[in-house]
């Protein structure tokens, strides 16, 4: 998929599942369960053992799933992820070298940011989506709403502490999408090999996002 197609798909779905597992096998298991639940986008974080191998495997064998790389902290890792077939790169913080690299390679980059200065710097550097992280500890939906005031043109992803109780509030506050980890991919479901639990959570979060977006449309 092209950069614009990946961006459009993320906007459409409104959720980027962040996979942080203790093994490559668990990562593949989680990604497949999420896709079956209706979210054909996954972010394989670099904290997963052999994460780059997982990305490469999924890029080759799961053509209907958009596989991105998460927790990319340096330029060399960004290069390896791109070579493995990653469709997008994300980072928990702002690294302008990674943003510049992704733009040159014509791949979607989602820079991390927390402060207003970081948000506008990431956006001006070319990050078409900006991941506000960690959201919950610094104000939750209220913080997203506060940022949207001066930066209505910036598409923000709320990540860090998003759960079923707060997901709708983040969307109503103006988040373009949600980054969700453990609340979508419970460790126990992976350990017990219960894919349907993960798939059902994916469907549940999708319903929450869809309903919140409907309310936003009606409100506008």
Query: CA–CA distance from 28 to each of 1, 3, 37, 71, 132 (Å)?
Result: 20, 23, 14, 17, 26
60-65: average pLDDT: 87
pLDDT of residue 138: 93
pLDDT of residue 24: 84
pLDDT of residue 40: 94
Of the candidates 31, 65, 36, 5, the residue with the CA atom closest to the CA atom of residue 181: 31
Give the residue ranges of DSSP H helices in the chain.
3-13, 24-36, 51-61, 75-84, 96-104, 116-125, 141-148, 167-173, 187-191, 195-219
CB 41, CB 206: distance < 8 Å: no
Provide, rounded to the nearest whole percent, the portion of the chain with pLDDT above 90: 90
The fold of the 3-219 domain, in CATH, is TIM Barrel (3.20.20)
Give dist(CA 133, CA 27) in Å, integer.
22
CB 122, CB 111: distance < 8 Å: yes
Residue with more model confidence, 27 or 127: 127
Provide, rounded to the nearest whole percent, the portion of the chain with pLDDT above 70: 99
- pLDDT at residue 130 is higher than 80: yes
pLDDT digits (tens, 9 = 90+) for 77-122: 999 999 999 999 999 999 999 999 999 999 999 999 999 999 999 9
36-49: average pLDDT: 95
pLDDT digits (tens, 9 = 90+) for 167-205: 999 999 999 999 999 999 999 999 999 999 999 999 999
Of the candidates 61, 112, 47, 55, the residue with the CA atom closest to the CA atom of residue 83: 55
What confidence tier does 220 reach under pLDDT thresholds 50, 70, 90? low
- Sorted by sequence, the CB contacts under 8 Å of residue 187 that are 6+ apart come out as none
Give the number of other CB atoms < 10 A from CB of residue 77: 18
């Amino acid at each position: 998929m092209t950069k614009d197609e990946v961006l459009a798909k993320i906007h459409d779905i409104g959720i980027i599942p962040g996979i942080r597992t203790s093994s490559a096998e668990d990562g593949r298991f989680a990604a497949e369960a999420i896709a079956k639940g209706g979210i054909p986008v996954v972010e394989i974080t670099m904290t997963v053992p052999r994460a780059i191998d997982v990305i490469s495997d999924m890029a080759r064998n799961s053509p209907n799933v958009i596989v991105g790389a998460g927790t990319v902290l340096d330029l060399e890792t960004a290069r390896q992820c791109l070579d493995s077939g990653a469709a997008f790169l994300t980072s928990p913080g702002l690294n302008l070298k990674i943003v510049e690299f992704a733009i040159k390679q014509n791949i979607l980059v989602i820079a991390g940011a927390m402060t207003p200065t970081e948000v506008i710097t990431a956006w001006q550097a070319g990050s078409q989506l900006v991941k506000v992280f960690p959201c919950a500890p610094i104000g939750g939906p209220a913080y997203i709403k506060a940022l949207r005031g001066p930066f209505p043109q910036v598409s923000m992803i709320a990540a860090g502490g998003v759960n079923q109780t707060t997901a709708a509030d983040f969307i109503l506050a103006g988040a373009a999408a949600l980054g969700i980890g453990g609340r979508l991919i419970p460790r126990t479901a992976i350990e017990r090999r219960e894919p349907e639990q993960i798939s059902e959570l994916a469907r549940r979060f999708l319903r929450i996002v869809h309903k919140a977006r409907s309310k936003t449309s009606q409100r506008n």
